[in-house]
């Protein structure tokens, strides 16, 4: 019987990780928020790039002592128009690009008491674009790449063990618009939620 050291190491790693997940506590966090996005090339050309948007989604939080692993699914929509305001929570307007985002992050809880928990996390996001509203700028589905990626950093707080609030920064790694080579989308999300 020929057993490779790599196979033994892989089996041990899977066992340790699965044991950690079983011992950890998993929670569900439903959330909603407002976004402020900026296209890198637009900001360089015009001096201002403000594209407000909205977000709704959920996270699965896996916690083990101070360590936290968070994965989720979020729906975002951002205005295609370069607006004066940074954040907006108006769902009535229809000149947006729509996409889903899957963030996968890990971090550390640095403050934990009976009232508040504060954590800092970082990781990556995969972005799937799926629709563009009718707009006066002439954009349609063919103008956007279907998949993109971001890096993200998060300050996450929990109040009274069931309310959550977070500030998230997204840093775009790939261009979004096919005819604009430096159309990397970066921005901020302010979110609030309820943890179960």
Say whether pLDDT at 22 is over 90: no
| pLDDT recorded at residue 6 | 59
**Confidence (pLDDT) at 144:** 92
93-146 pLDDT, tens per residue? 788 999 999 999 999 999 999 899 999 999 999 999 989 998 888 899 899 999
Alpha-carbon distance 93 to 80, whole Å? Answer: 11
Structure tokens given for 16? 């340790």
Query: Which H or E run includes 6?
Result: helix 5-23
pLDDT, position 87: 87
Does position 193 have pLDDT exceeding 90, yes or no?
A: yes
**H or E element that contains 36:** strand 25-39
Query: What value does the mean pLDDT take over residues 6-13?
Result: 62
157 by Cβ neighbours in 10 Å (0-12 / 13-18 / 19+) ranks as: middle
Which tokens belong to 29? 């966090």
For residue 10, pLDDT beyond 80 = no
Nearest to 35 by CA among 97, 77, 72: 77
User: What is the predicted pLDDT for the residue at 84?
Assistant: 86
Lowest mean pLDDT among 19-28, 72-81, 169-178, 184-193: 19-28
- Range of lowest pLDDT (9-23, 73-87, 92-106): 9-23
pLDDT of residue 93: 79
Per-residue confidence at 1, pLDDT binned at 50, 70, 90? very low
Q: Which bin fits 170, alpha (ψ -120 to 50), beta or left (φ > 0)?
A: beta
Q: Coil, strand, or helix at residue 45?
A: helix
């Amino acid at each position: 019987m020929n057993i490779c050291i790599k196979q033994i190491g892989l089996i041990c790693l899977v066992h340790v990780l699965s044991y950690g997940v079983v011992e950890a506590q998993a929670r569900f966090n439903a959330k909603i928020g407002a976004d402020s996005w900026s296209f890198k090339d637009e900001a360089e050309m015009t001096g201002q790039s403000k594209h407000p948007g909205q977000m709704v989604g959920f996270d699965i939080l896996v916690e083990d002592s101070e360590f936290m692993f968070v994965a989720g699914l979020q729906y975002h929509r951002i205005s295609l128009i370069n607006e004066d305001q940074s954040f907006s929570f108006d769902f009535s307007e229809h000149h947006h690009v729509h996409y889903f985002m899957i963030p996968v992050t890990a971090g550390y809880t640095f403050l934990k008491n009976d009232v508040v928990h504060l954590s800092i996390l970082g990781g990556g996001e995969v972005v799937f674009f799926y629709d563009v509203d009718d707009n006066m700028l002439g954009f349609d589905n063919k103008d956007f790449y279907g998949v993109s990626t971001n890096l993200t950093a998060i300050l996450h707080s929990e109040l009274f063990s069931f309310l959550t609030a977070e500030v998230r920064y997204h840093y775009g790694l790939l261009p979004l618009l096919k005819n604009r080579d430096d159309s990397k989308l970066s921005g901020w999300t302010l979110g609030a939620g309820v943890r179960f």
